[in-house]
Structure 1
Amino acid sequence: MAVDALDTRILTLLLEQPRTSVREYARLLGVARGTLQARLDRMERDGVITGTGPSLSPAALGHPVLAFVHIEVTQGHLDEVGDALAAVPEIIEAFSITGGGDLLTRVAARDNGHLEDVIQQLINLPGVVRTRTEVALRERVAHRVLPLVASVAAGR
């Protein structure tokens, strides 16, 4: 799906002012409300916009320890292990990857002991061969997409 200049202006506003109404977005952009809504609907349908909910802090929810757990999986069991990961609430994200391991997960834990418990739970999943864990010390660049939207708007 091609994202044009108006789309990138819409996306920028959504990221910069997420609690603004559609009517106000339309006014700020100088377009009809119907035009804006049609663009939003298309970008949602095409998977450009994937959510509209609030962004939550695991640390503020009592899970300040962030770790990245690489999981090596027995051949042929990737889907099973991936499905099992969805049942572990401390797993925030999981990706199939290339390189050292088959899956990369982002895990939030209350403390190091809790992290160890989560890792033990992962190790005991059928199809998991081994894990390797890296604990994040400090966030250097928070999750963001606005610079990417700006680069798309600039044609880079």
Structure 2
Amino acid sequence: MAVDALDTRILRLLIEQPQTSVREYARILSIARGTLQARIDRLERDGVITGSGPFLSPAALGHPVLAFVHLEVTQGHLDDVGEALAAVPEIIEAFSTTGGGDLLTRVVARDNGHLEDVIQRLIQLPGVVRTRTEVALRERVPHRLLPLVRSVGRTASPGRGQGLSETAPAERT
């Protein structure tokens, strides 16, 4: 799906000012509210916008330990193991990968003992051969998309309307 300059300005606003109304977004962008809503609807339908907040902190929910657990899986069992991972609440993301393992999971835990319990649960899943765990010490770059949206915006085709300048406040998402 092609994202034009107006789309990128809309996306920037949604990231930078997530609790603003559609009416206010339209005013800032100097476009009709219906135009803005149609654009947002299309961005959602095309999978560019995949959700909305709130964004929660696992640490604030009592799970300050973050680890990346690589799982090696017996051939032919990737889908089964992937489905089983969905039943483990401490797994907040999982990806099939190339390289040293077959699956990469992002796991949160209350403490190191709890992390060990989660890993033991993973190694007992049918089809899991072994795990390798890396504990995160400190977040250096938080999850973010605004720099990518800005980059796409610089190369996007021109759109209508005025609005956001190239300099913007710090990103929250």
TM range, normalised to the smaller chain? over 0.9
* Structure 1 position 13, deviation (Å): 0.3
Q: Which amino acid aligns with 1:135?
A: V
Deviation at 1:155, TM superposition (A): 1.4
**Paired residue for 2:43?**
43
Kindly report the root-mean-square deviation, in angstroms, between the aligned alpha carbons of the 2 structures: 0.8
Distance 2:94 2:126 in 1: 17
Runs of 4+ in 1 over 6 A off after TM superposition: none
Q: Tell me, yes or no, if structure 1 residue 107 matches structure 2 residue 107.
A: yes
Specify the alignment match of 1:87 in structure 2.
Answer: 87
SS of 1:121's equivalent?
A: helix
Tell me, in whole angstroms, the C-alpha distance in 1 between the residues paired with 2:26 and 2:83.
41
Q: Which residue of 2 aligns with 1:2?
A: 2
Write the distance in 2 (CA, Å) between the matches of 1:44 and 1:155. Answer: 21
Residue 58 of structure 1 aligns with which residue?
A: 58
Give CA-to-partner distance per residue, 1:95-152, whole Å, 9 cap, x none.
0100010000000000000000000000000110000000000000000000000000
Give deviations 1:21-44, integer Å, cap 9, x for gaps. 111111111111110111111110
Matches within 5 A, 1:140-155: 140-155=140-155
User: TM-score, normalization: structure 2?
Assistant: 0.89
Residue identity matched to 2:85: L
Structure 2: how far apart are the matches of 1:102 and 1:4? 36
Runs of 5+ unmatched residues, structure 1: none
Distance of 2:7 and 2:153 partners within structure 1? 9
Equivalent residue for 2:34?
Answer: 34
- Unpaired stretches in structure 2, ≥5 consecutive residues: 157-173
Aligned-partner Cα distance in 1 for 2:128–2:23: 50
AA at the equivalent of 1:94? A
Deviation of 1:58 after TM superposition, in Å, equals 0.3
In the alignment, the residues of structure 2 paired with residue 21 and residue 83 of structure 1 have an alpha-carbon distance, to the nearest angstrom, of 38
| Distance (Å, rounded) in 1 between the aligned partners of 2:124 and 2:45 | 38
2:159 corresponding residue in structure 1: none
Asked which structure has the greater RCO (Cα within 8 Å, sep 6+), the reply is 2
Counterpart in 1 of 2:75? 75
Return 46-55 or 110-119, whichever deviates more.
Answer: 46-55
- How many percent of aligned residue pairs carry the same amino acid? 85
CA distance in structure 2 between the partners assigned to 1:83 and 1:46 by the alignment: 26
* TM-score relative to the length of structure 1: 0.98
Deviation of 1:53 (Å): 2.0
